[in-house]
Structure 1
Amino acid sequence: MERTLSSDLVFENSTEKSNAALPLRLLSNLLLWQRRISSRHQLARLDARLLADAGISEAQRYEELSKPFWR
């Protein structure tokens, strides 16, 4: 007689793995959002000369600064 796994066991196992990765994904997103906030603060402090050196126009800076931290 052949034994097979029930679908309940397979889905439980994959759900447990997904739940275990949730804190890591959350931490990763929080760190990404913090880096975006920090880099946008730095971008806001650049004067026209530094923007020109970096090849960033005022319009590009405004576009970047107007984004929410999650994008």
Structure 2
Amino acid sequence: MDTVFGRLYAPRHRSSVINRLNSAMALHRSRARLARLEPHLLDDIGLDAERAAEEASRPIWDAPSCWTK
């Protein structure tokens, strides 16, 4: 029987959870890489070391709303 609690809706929910987890992990990796960039590379992207460290230390659930859509 395909109901709200049946098979039809379970895969969609699971994929949504997996997508969110993948996005959170990607954000974590990006911020970790940002934290390791050398000063001349930070200059290339318009950041200073302080701003890069601030961004890198943010938790994974603290993402801009435009990234969550």
> TM-score per shorter chain, which class?
0.5 to 0.7
Structure 1: give runs of 5+ residues left out of the alignment: 1-12
Please tell me whether residue 25 in structure 1 is matched to residue 31 in structure 2.
no
Which position in structure 2 is the counterpart of 1:39? 30
TM-score (norm. length: structure 1): 0.66
- Provide the alpha-carbon RMSD of the alignment: 2.1
Which runs of 5 or more structure 2 residues have no equivalent in the other structure?
Answer: 63-69
Q: Which has the higher contact order (CA 8 A, sep 6+)?
A: 1
Whichever structure has more helix as a proportion of its residues is 1
TM-score (normalizing by structure 2): 0.67
Name the % identity: 27
Aligned residues: 60
Give the 4+ runs in structure 1 shifted more than 3 A: 13-20
CA distance in 1, matches of 2:13, 2:55: 29
- Aligned residue for 2:47, secondary structure, equals coil
